[in-house]
Amino acid sequence: GDSVTQMEGPVTLSEEAFLTINCTYTATGYPSLFWYVQYPGEGLQLLLKATKADDKGSNKGFEATYRKETTSFHLEKGSVQVSDSAVYFCALIPGTSYDKVIFGPGTSLSVIP
Amino acid sequence: DAGITQSPRHKVTETGTPVTLRCHQTENHRYMYWYRQDPGHGLRLIHYSYGVKDTDKGEVSDGYSVSRSKTEDFLLTLESATSSQTSVYFCATFGTKGTDTQYFGPGTRLTVL
């Protein structure tokens, strides 16, 4: 079935370090791919998305490119800040079923000054 | 922001008691979801609804029931709470089928003693 795999962390980085969180997926059809972020004590919110192969989603300095050949959607940021400390979820909507979102387990990121 | 509120935000109850969590949305979104979030498991879908009185089970539906008598309200009931249902519960919505951003409520932290 459809699934999402991501590095679980926790990941601890110093401020201004480069961030990569790996995400790979298994899906039938042509899924849409997402990164959601959850700040402490809050619900999830959409960070960025890509709906077809080679699309790049970007927001708040974060980027991810939909790579169909490697079934990946890795999240990157060139210089993290303390305020980026959160849990990041990779997710997909299967191409065959638009009413469900499949989430990865989440990656906890802590950025220290 | 889809104007999603959840009540209560925190609840402590005893094993064997019934509990109802409420999700209310103001955007007239058709699809509504209940997830639970637990360490090491990420988000797991409990039940979802694709319209008034139309509901379906998710991957962890045992011990839970739902009702949706109005578009804006989606209730999650634990008929007889158990300690394994201690979790953080999130409500979420989709606008329409084919739109791709899911909106989340702030969560309800439930503790079953």
pLDDT band at B100 (very low <50, low <70, confident <90, very high): confident
Contact (CB<8Å) B48/A99: yes
Contact (CB<8Å) B42/A34: no
Backbone angles phi, psi at A53, to 5 degrees: -55, 140
A34, A43, A101 member nearest B105 (Cβ): A43
Which residue reads 């109005």 in tokens?
B70
pLDDT of residue A72: 97
Contact (CB<8Å) A43/B106: yes
B50, B94, B104 member nearest A43 (Cβ): B104
Q: Are A66 and B11 in contact (CB under 8 A)?
A: no
Tokens representing B39 are 């360490």
Distance CA B86, CA B109 (A): 8
Task: Give me the torsion for CA of A98, A104, A105, A110, rounded to 10°.
Answer: -120
Residues 49 to 78 of B: which have CB under 8 A from any A CB? 50
Q: Are B17 and B80 in contact (CB under 8 A)?
A: yes
Interface A:B, Cβ pairs < 8 A = 47
Q: If DSSP codes are grouped into helix, strand and coil, which group holds residue B58?
A: coil
**Nearest by Cα to B75 from B47, B94, B111, B112:** B47
Contact (CB<8Å) B94/A99: yes
User: Taking 70 as the threshold, does the pLDDT of residue B1 lie above it?
Assistant: no
Q: In whole angstroms, what separates CA B21 from the centre of its chain?
A: 7
User: B107 vs chain A: nearest CA distance in angstroms?
Assistant: 6
Angstrom CA distances, B32 to A5, A21, A81, B27, stand at 25, 29, 34, 11
Task: Give me the torsion for CA of A25, B96, A60, A43, rounded to 10°.
Answer: -80
Is B107 part of the contact surface with chain A (CB cutoff 8 Å)? yes
Distance CA A13, CA B46 (A): 34
Residues of A with Cβ-Cβ distance to B97 under 8 angstroms: 98-99
Tokens representing A57 are 């989603």
Distance CA B23, CA B55 (A): 15
Residue B61, H or E segment = none
Is B48 part of the contact surface with chain A (CB cutoff 8 Å)? yes
pLDDT of residue A98: 64
User: Taking 70 as the threshold, does the pLDDT of residue B96 lie above it?
Assistant: no
Q: In whole angstroms, what separates CA A15 from the centre of its chain?
A: 20
Contact (CB<8Å) B107/A106: no
Q: Which residues of chain A have pLDDT under 50?
A: none
The model's pLDDT over B2-22, given as tens digits with 9 standing for 90+, comes to 689 999 999 999 999 999 999
Distance CA A33, CA A52 (A): 8
Contact (CB<8Å) B42/A46: no
